[in-house]
Amino acid sequence: MNNSISFNHLYFGNLSYDVTEDDLRGMLSSYGAVEDIQLKQKKGYAIIHFTDTADAELVMKSLEEVPFLGRKLVIDWAKEPGKGKKPDTVA
């Protein structure tokens, strides 16, 4: 197993720059408990920490490429800080 990936943290990309934490919590409320949302609004992404890995897996399967506030969601397992490429790293 790759230790650099957290299995209850998801990376949400391609978010509208107008999205709020409340918008995200509202969208995710029917999928399980969200512990924390780290929203990088000006960069168009968020790292969302779920209480349960099964909830994170369900969200990933259910919402990948689903339109949300006018943009298709990009969802992947979040990498732990300092491990691998960070979502806000410019290539």
Greatest alpha-carbon pair distance for the chain in Å reads 36
Class of CATH domain 5-79: alpha beta
What pTM value is reported for the model?
Answer: 0.81
The pLDDT value given to residue 83: 52
Per-residue pLDDT of 60-72, as tens digits, reads 999 999 999 999 9
The total number of residues written for the chain in this structure: 91
Domain edges within the chain: 5-79
The pLDDT value given to residue 7: 85
For residues 44-73, average pLDDT: 96
The pLDDT value given to residue 79: 86
The pLDDT value given to residue 6: 66
- Kindly tell me the sign of the dihedral angle through the C-alpha atoms of 29, 34, 12, 57: negative
For residues 30-53, average pLDDT: 96
Evaluate if residue 85 carries a pLDDT over 70.
no
Distance from C-alpha of 15 to C-alpha of 72, rounded to nearest angstrom: 8
